[in-house]
Structures are given as C-alpha cells and as structure tokens.
Amino acid sequence: MDREINGKIQLKVPEIKYTKLFINGRFLDSVSGKTFETNDPRTGDVIAAVAEGDKEDVDNAVKAAREAFDHGKWPRTSGHERGRILMKLADLIEQHAEDLSMLDAINAGKLLHMTQAFDIPTAAFMLRYFAGWADKVHGQTLKCSGEFQAYTLLEPVGVVGLIIPWNFPTVLFVAKIAPALAAGCSVVVKPAEQTPLSALYCAQLAKQAGVPDGVLNVVTGFGPTAGAAVASHMDVDAVSFTGSTEIGKVVMAAAASSNLKQVSLELGGKSPLVIFADADLDMAVQLAWQAVFFNKAIITHASVLLKAEVFSWRLESNGIDINGSLPSSQGEICLAGSRVYVQEEIYEEFKKKTVEMVKNWVLGDPFDPQVHQGPQVDKRQFEKVLRYIEAGKREGATLINGGKPVGEKGYFIEPTIFADVKEDMLIAKDEIFGPVMSIMKFKTIEEAIEKANNTRYGLAAGIVTKDLNIANMVSRSIRAGTIWINCYMATEADAPFGGYKMSGFGKDSGLQAIQKYLNVKSVITPLYGSPWL
C-alpha cells in the first residue's frame, strides 16, 4: 500500500504479515505481552508493533531447540535431506523476493533496487552453497602408531544462538542459519531490534520448506535483554554474533561466565584502502566511493565488480535503470574502506575526482530506483554519524563535501568527505558506520603499510596498483581477514570471511563457516592380529 506524506510524496509500505515471536514452529506473543515499535527510517514513523522477547521467551526458544536437537530428527537426518530442505528454502526466498526486498528497504532504509538485485539473490545463493556442504560433512581415518584403528567424527555442536545486526537483515539471517542448519544444529536467532521483520518472514518460509518445528526459532527483542539471555544461557552450546566490538566483548564475557560456550565474533572494522600512484585513477576513485558509501553484500556467483559500467549492467539486467551512475547507500557496512590512503603524487587529483562523483547524487526514498542513497537506519545511528562529522571538523580535518543532514523528516545525511585527515583524529580511528570518507596521504610503500596497520581493527583492506610486486608485498603485510586487490566488496560464499585483532574471530562463509558448528570426536579401538597397522 502507499501512504501520503505532506500531501505530496507517496511512500510505499509493504504488508506486515509477521510480528510475533517464532518458537517451536508457531508465532507467539511474548510471555510478558510486551511489544516494541519498529520504525521507518525514511520518516521516523512507526511501521508495526513487534513482540518484545525477554529471558523467559529465550528460555522457551532454547527449550524447543534443545528438544529438537536431543530428540528430534534434524541432526539425525541425512545430510542429503537437510540439503534438500535448504534448497527448497532458497527457492521460497526467491519466490518471495519482492516482499523480503520491501521489508529490508522499509525497515533498514536500504535501496529497494539494491535489495532486489543483490540482497535477496545473495541469500538464496548462500543457502544453496551451504546446502551443498550438508552431505559432505565427514571425518578422517587416522594412522595410529600402535595397534589401534582410529577415525574422527564431525558432529553438530548442538543448540546455537545467532545474534545478527541491522545492516543486512535478510543476508545475515541466512548467513548465520545456513551453515548451522547444514551442520545439523538447531538455532535461536535474535535479530536486531531495528530490523526484525524479514527474519520473522524467513522463519515462516523455513517452516514451509520443511525445517522441523523447534529447529529454527526467532526471538525479537533488545540486546541487553533477549540478546544477553541468548549469550548467557546455560543450554546454548555456541553463539555467533555480528555487531560492534563493544558488544562483542559483552557476548564473549557472558559466554565465558555461563557454560564456556563456543563463540564466533564478526565485529567492527576501520578498513584501509591504499591507492598507489600507478593506479588507474578513475577506477581508484570509483572503488574508493564504493568502499565507503556502498552498503551491499556481493556474495554471488557473479560478484566481482571493478567498474561502474559492470555494476550498471548487473542492475539493468534486473530491470533497473540507473542512467549510468554508480548506485550507493548509507555506508552502513563493517567492511567499509573508510580510511583512504592516497600516494602523494596523485593525492590532489584524487580529491578533485572524488568530489566530482557527488554531482547528480540523489538522496531520498529508497523505494525510488533513481535514488542513490537512503536514510540511516534510525535516529540513534543518524545522530552518531553527525557527531563524528562534527568531531572531524573540530579536530581540523578539511571538509570537502557534505557533512549535513538532509530534509525535515527521516534520517538522511549527505555523503561526507574529509581530506587532510590525521591518524589521531576520531574519524580516522573509530568505526563510524555511515557515509563518511577520510582521505589521507602517504609517500612510501613502507609508510602505507604502517598506516594501514595502525588500527585496532583487522577486518579487510584494499590495494589499488598495477604493480604485482607491490600488491603481493602489501597484501601479505596488512593484518586483515580479507584483502582486495584492484576491487572492493567482492566477496564469495566460498571465501572465508572474518577478521583479525578486534574485528573478531571465526568465519561466516566458506567451509570454515560450517566447521565452527561441528565438534570433532576421535574414536579409537584396538586391533588384534591385524597384518597391517
């Protein structure tokens, strides 16, 4: 349906079908009966009232998941059958792509054409990827030194708590549940309070696909209550969290102080993009723009996007006309290459070309295919980004574009570019999670490496150069979990994704993602009179 704002603008509002907790295959009110409001970041208006889960609701969800794991058929089902069900879920997500795209757009302020072109296809692709691993989980035969035979078994960890953020609601819901379910675990998902709607929708699709009751549970609510209850629950065997480093520490402490449950953390980032003087300057500018202002996930079989025309082709092939411009969004992504280091020979020209990218830039309703950037997810994030922009100006960085909020309603911020940024400034040190780029200068390769590593984070980094020797040296010297050379944001389902240092540990894609939901058991028996050891 549509709604009129100020008598002029028609805003699309999708039908909200699911707002209750999903526990043991049913939608339920919270035990307390409480609800909370989820808001439209375009206007700040309320979209729907969603059930507010708390400790008792988490207890009920964990109880259902424990029963399903200990006595249910899911972990005892063949990997082939689990994979078949996950494949069916992928089909259903594609069939309901329009609804899911609209939910993520209205709930998170994401560009609708981006959710259609990338987020939902990515979710379906990831499900199929991990479905393919489900029947390939097996151990090894071991060569013992004594008269024994030995082998290993890979067994599902058990009940897994999955706590997801708000910037990629559908993608990260799937990225968490797919490897865990493929491994044979049962799960309790706590989606971000800002974006609960698509997780509940996907839960219903999982039931339709054949995921048994109790295997997948969704408890909506707040981090300090529902999230904390998941992390500290004595009957949860493992927890995987994606979010800020500060909350990651809290989750890890709760896991340690409860039952020493296994922990996987994908946390913040302040990733460097290092541009050398020999780089293709136009490509470097586009990559830098994409690295900071582009909220998206490219985890598909056709993901490597080096130039705007390639990206334009991908969108246009999905029926989206962008008039040759590079689509973007609100910069809310942990991978953002928000520290842009440019070799001094091309520094001034890089700044000039980067500012030129803003021409014809359109902020507005993410349901409009001509819009390049939507709103920040909520008022709190909106105000946080504006505080960092003020800090950048106060500490002496040169503001060369943007820096202001846009409009009287909603949470829109101009794409903001700072030059002459120093290493000790807040905008150079802290993860802002918004449309803010910091441009810095370097002279030598050694200086570039030192500056790139001068951060408490280690999630990703980018290198732009035509020199293979430089690319090899720098990629091996930067301490980060993913290094992109002459590209950025190119991720694949089979490429392990996770960080170094305070960006966390554990991988959320690739074979390593399913391995973290498996325990290794050694089985040893004696041999009597065998001719071979």
194: closest CA among 37, 383, 367, 20?
37
Phi, psi of 5 (to 5 degrees): -115, 125
Can you read off the two tokens belonging to residue 58? 């988490």
CA 21 to chain centroid: 22
Residue in this structure with the two tokens 């206007």, named with its chain if needed = 43
Per the CB < 8 A criterion, the answer to whether 86 and 184 are in contact is no
Separation of alpha carbons 165 and 241, rounded Å? 8
Q: Catalytic site residue 266?
A: yes
Residue in this structure with the two tokens 């058991």, named with its chain if needed = 521
- DSSP for residue 518: E
120-133 vs 169-183: helix crossing angle, rounded to 10: 10
Per the CB < 8 A criterion, the answer to whether 440 and 339 are in contact is yes
- Residues whose CB falls within 8 Å of the CB of residue 468, separated by 6 or more in sequence, listed in order: none
Per the CB < 8 A criterion, the answer to whether 124 and 90 are in contact is yes
- Residues whose CB falls within 8 Å of the CB of residue 145, separated by 6 or more in sequence, listed in order: 533
Per the CB < 8 A criterion, the answer to whether 304 and 484 are in contact is no
- Residues whose CB falls within 8 Å of the CB of residue 482, separated by 6 or more in sequence, listed in order: 335, 459, 460, 461, 491, 495, 497
> From the candidates 81, 94, 155, 266, which is the catalytic residue?
266
Can you read off the two tokens belonging to residue 505? 């540990």
Phi, psi of 325 (to 5 degrees): -90, 165
SS (H, E, C) 421-482: CCCCCHHHHCCCCCCEEEEEEECCHHHHHHHHCCCCEECEEEEECCCHHHHHHHHHHCCCCE
Residues noted as catalytic: 266
